[in-house]
């Protein structure tokens, strides 16, 4: 299970809302909040899970009214239009979902005195000279990156010390929808299909449950402004893919590295991207596990009966590999 202090109750319980509770980070925010003794309501837009309330942030007035009714202390917003190439094709949806809709709910939150936690990305940088600190100048290359950067600035301007923006990158790990890069890779490898990855894009793999835990602790501390929350290693996608394959007992021969120029992705990507974490390190040194430990915990989470309904199984696991030493025994696997 999540071998962290996430399960220690907080001394002052919060009333929280998670917009996008059906998503990768949203699910671990809800889990961590519950473990720490906070009360939380989570929402979904199109993929329903038990206990979540349907909310479409694009329905501006009803969504704002719902936020007001919640009388929450803190609103987490791990939502939006996160498909980078899709944002390049549909600029107006990219700006609506990543800037206008969260700003609308942030304004509603401010009216009832709630804090607002927004999630951004290292795609606000151009990747000429990463990894970047919170002080580095932004220069997004893509529509997604520009919408996120503009949202950061608008939230800062309008909410000041009531807002926290967490920039993260390459989030992976167990999740309810099974959509992240690790799941895509492991599905391909289980089916003996090649996985083509950019060999020249560099960033920090970031373990989703750790990002969520850091976000909850920072919210408890009323942190504000901009904070980078990413894993400690800055590596390229092929190295990342090989590490995942190895941890799940797959041969990495089907992982094919290609340059970004060869791949022709729809949106431009920062190449030498990635984030440094001086603010996080000052407050919570070591909170983000190294990649190897995170992958070990990912495997344990898949075998943990307590997490069963929070985690999409991984294709082929655990049938095709020896049981991980650290995994807890579990009925039915």
CB of 178 to ligand NAP, least distance (A): 10
CA distance 163 to 117: 6
Helix (H) / strand (E) element for 108: namely helix 101-111
Q: DSSP per residue over 39-58, as a string?
A: EEEEEESSS--TTPEE--TT
Grouping H, G, I as helix, E, B as strand and the rest as coil, residue 168 is: strand
The sign of the dihedral angle between the CA atoms of 82, 87, 90, 96 is positive
- CA of residue 255 relative to chain centroid, distance: 24
Using the minimum distance from each CB to ligand NAP, give the nearer residue, 273 or 296.
273
Residue 45 in contact with ligand NAP, rule: CB under 6 A: yes
Residue 79 in contact with ligand NAP, rule: CB under 6 A: yes
CA distance 214 to 286: 10
Residue 138 in contact with ligand NAP, rule: CB under 6 A: no
Using the minimum distance from each CB to ligand NAP, give the nearer residue, 44 or 248.
44
Residue 170 in contact with ligand NAP, rule: CB under 6 A: yes
Cis peptide bond upstream of 131, omega within 30 = yes
| Binding-residue total with ligand NAP (CB under 6 A) | 26
CA distance 251 to 229: 31
CB of 193 to ligand NAP, least distance (A): 22
CB of 128 to ligand NAP, least distance (A): 19
- Neighbouring CB atoms inside 10 A of 109's CB total 27
Q: Of 237, 127, 111, 219, which is closest to residue 182 (Cα–Cα)?
A: 237
Stretch that binds ligand NAP, among 19-27, 212-220, 269-277, 296-304 (CB under 6 A): 19-27
Grouping H, G, I as helix, E, B as strand and the rest as coil, residue 229 is: coil
CB of 26 to ligand NAP, least distance (A): 5
Stretch that binds ligand NAP, among 127-135, 164-172, 237-245, 309-317 (CB under 6 A): 164-172
CB of 27 to ligand NAP, least distance (A): 8
Residue 19 in contact with ligand NAP, rule: CB under 6 A: yes
Query: Residues 42, 51: contact at Cβ < 8 Å?
Result: yes
Tokens of 330: 């579990």
Stretch that binds ligand NAP, among 65-73, 168-176, 190-198, 246-254 (CB under 6 A): 168-176
Residue reference for tokens 């349907």: 54
Residues between 115 and 134 with contacts to ligand NAP, criterion CB under 6 A? 119, 121
Choosing from 8, 56, 65, 128, the residue that interacts with ligand NAP (CB under 6 A) is 56
CB of 296 to ligand NAP, least distance (A): 20
Residues that bind ligand NAP (CB under 6 A): 19-20, 22-26, 44-47, 55-58, 78-80, 82, 97, 119, 121, 168-171
């Amino acid at each position: 299970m999540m071998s962290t202090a996430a399960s220690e109750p907080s001394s002052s319980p919060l009333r929280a809302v998670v917009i996008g509770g059906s998503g990768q980070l949203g699910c671990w925010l809800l889990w961590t909040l519950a473990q720490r003794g906070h009360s939380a309501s989570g929402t979904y837009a199109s993929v329903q899970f038990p206990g979540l309330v349907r909310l479409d942030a694009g329905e501006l007035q009803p969504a704002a009214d719902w936020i007001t009714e919640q009388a929450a202390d803190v609103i987490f917003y791990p939502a939006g239009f996160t498909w980078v190439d899709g944002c390049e094709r549909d600029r107006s949806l990219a700006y609506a979902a990543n800037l206008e809709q969260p700003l609308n709910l942030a304004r509603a939150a401010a009216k009832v005195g709630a804090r607002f936690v927004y999630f951004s990305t290292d795609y606000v940088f151009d990747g000429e000279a990463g990894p970047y600190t919170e002080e580095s100048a932004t220069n997004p290359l893509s529509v997604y990156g520009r919408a996120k950067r503009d949202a950061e600035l608008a939230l800062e301007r309008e909410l000041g010390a009531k807002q926290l923006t967490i920039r993260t990158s390459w989030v992976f790990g167990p999740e309810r929808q099974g959509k992240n890069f690790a799941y895509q890779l492991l599905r391909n490898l289980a089916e003996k299909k090649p996985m083509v990855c950019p060999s020249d894009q560099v960033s920090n793999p970031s373990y989703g449950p750790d990002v969520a835990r850091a976000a909850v602790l920072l919210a408890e501390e009323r942190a504000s402004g901009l904070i980078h929350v990413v894993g400690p290693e800055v590596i390229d996608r092929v190295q990342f893919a090989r590490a995942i394959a190895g941890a799940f007992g797959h041969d990495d021969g089907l992982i094919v590295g290609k340059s970004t120029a060869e791949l022709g992705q729809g949106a431009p990507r920062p190449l030498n991207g990635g984030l440094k974490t001086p603010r996080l390190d000052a407050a919570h040194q070591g909170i983000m596990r190294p990649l190897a430990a995170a992958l070990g915990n990912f495997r344990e989470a898949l075998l943990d009966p307590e997490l069963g309904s929070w985690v999409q199984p991984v294709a082929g696991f655990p049938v095709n590999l020896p049981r991980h030493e650290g995994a807890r025994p579990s009925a039915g696997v």
